[in-house]
Amino acid sequence: MDLNAYFLTLEYILMASTFVALLLIFLYAYYGNEEEAKEES
């Protein structure tokens, strides 16, 4: 595998992991607020 393909693969891995991290942060913020609202009532 040449160097260009290696960095392209690395770029895709970083983009995918960033997307997953942002998705998990969004879901945690959404459902975390929902749980706090249930505990207060």
pLDDT tens digits, 1-41: 799 999 999 999 999 999 999 999 999 998 887 776 776 65
pLDDT for res 15: 98
Distance CA 41, CA 36 (A): 9
pLDDT for res 12: 98
pLDDT for res 2: 92
Distance CA 25, CA 13 (A): 18
* DSSP code for 21: H
Distance CA 1, CA 3 (A): 7
* DSSP code for 41: -
pLDDT for res 34: 75
pLDDT for res 41: 58
Distance CA 28, CA 22 (A): 10
